[in-house]
Structures are given as C-alpha cells and as structure tokens.
Structure 1
C-alpha cells in the first residue's frame, strides 16, 4: 500500500519560472554594459588619434610651424584676409609679420579620401622592421 501511495501523489512542482521583471532587469543591464563598452571604445579611439578631430574652425588654419627653441615656435596662420607669422612661447604669442593671403589656386589640394577599414587596420598592425 505504501508503494501505491507514492505513485498516486502528484510530482513535486517544477522550479518557478523567472519573473518578467527579472528578465527585463538582466536585459537592461546587458544593454547598458554594451553601450558603455561602445562609448569607452570611442573615447579610446579619440585619445589615441584614430578618430578625426572635430570642432576645428575653417577661418584659422596653421599652415606651417617650425621649432626654434626648447619651447619656442614660429607659426604661420592662414586667415581669410591675411597670413600671420607668429612667435609662440610658453608665456605669450607675438605677432612677427603679416603676409598677403594665399591665392585659391595656390592652396593645397583637398586631402585624399580616408582609407577603408582594411587599410587602416593593416597600417596599425605593421611593425617597424617586420617584412610584409
């Protein structure tokens, strides 16, 4: 009789299913981690110089620069009206000379099209002294 009573008893209930709130919390936390990882990669790319610099003004452009001392430079800055020759030190910037503006036909050609990802990756992987 004892063996029959075990056979007639219902099986133990299965483990409860996860609640919807728990699943939503897990999915949200994984999504947040992925977004933070993408932002960290973008920040790292910008810090290492892989991302182009933004926010530069087209009105001022440094066209040439020469180091003349430990902390001194002579810089040529192109503006719309003139080219300025400036002496730059750690403490100050001094106007040295004003040149006429560059004619449009003398300006440097537009930069070449950016490299595709494959070429960029190959350039990064190259090591000096290693044959290709």
Structure 2
C-alpha cells in the first residue's frame, strides 16, 4: 500500500532495548545482594559455632583455652602452644608472662560411630551447647 500525499510512512528507529542506567543499577544491586549474602553467611557461621572461639587466624597451633576476667580491662589467659601452656596477664597496656605449664596430654579422638547423626540430633546438640544463652 502506497502512502498518500497526507500520510507519511515511519520506519522504526534502532533504539537500545535497555538503557545504560538501568543496566548499571541492576548490576550494582546484584553485587550489593551478593555482598550482603556473604556477610549474612559469615554471621550465621559465627552464631552457630562453626568458627571456633579463641582460635587465632592463621596460627592453628595457638589457642586460648581459658580466660578469667579480673577487672574492667584486666584478665588472666591460658594460651596453648605446641610445647607448653602459657599463663598470661593481659591489661590494656601490656601482656605479662606469669607462668609456664606443661602441655596438655594429647586427647584421643573419639571413635567414629557406626551411624551418622541425623539432622535432628545435630540440631539438638548445637542448641544445648554449654555457654550459649
């Protein structure tokens, strides 16, 4: 069909389907969501006890086995190292070596049970852990 004198035929102009601003918004919102998911997983792992308290990062041979608060900023800490147990006095300004104890005798690992614990048992042991409110 031919256009008449009063009609003009329009051809579609090539426009991008998605604007650059909306793509940038989508990418940044997905990135923020991923970062929030990582932070939530880290908080959950710490809350459920998957991260050991007293374990110094990077040094698997150094653990804090006991701690006793003496004042607002003073405490006595027992630190287990490879060949000894150190009793340390810790204040806001310094750490003082108080005594050296012999190392703990190595504990035998518990014998693996024939049956693996089901989810209900694992959840109950996590809930009933000592030291949790």
**TM-score, structure 2 as length reference:** 0.57
Q: CA RMSD in A?
A: 3.6
Relative to its length, the structure with more helix (as a share) is: 1
- From 20, 44, 50, the equivalent of 1:50 is 44
- In structure 2, the partner of 1:82 is 84
> Any idea what SS the aligned residue of 1:87 has?
strand
Task: Give the Cα separation in 2 of the matches to 1:17 and 1:66.
Answer: 73
Structure 2, unaligned stretches of length 5 or more? 110-116, 128-133
The alpha-carbon distance between structure 1 residues 51 and 17, as it changes in their structure 2 partners (threshold 3 A), is farther
C-alpha separation in 1, matches of 2:13 and 2:27: 25
CA distance in 2, matches of 1:32, 1:72: 46
Q: Name the structure 2 match of 1:127.
A: none
Structure 1 residue ranges (4+ consecutive) displaced by more than 2 angstroms after TM superposition: 13-18, 22-29, 40-46, 49-56
Bigger Cα Rg: 1
Give the aligned length: 103
How far is the alpha carbon of 1:39 from its aligned partner?
A: 1.1
Alignment partner of 1:105: what SS? coil
**TM-score normalised according to structure 1 size:** 0.57
Residue number in structure 1 paired with 2:74: 72
What is the match of residue 30 of structure 2? Answer: 34
Distance 1:55 1:32 in 2: 31
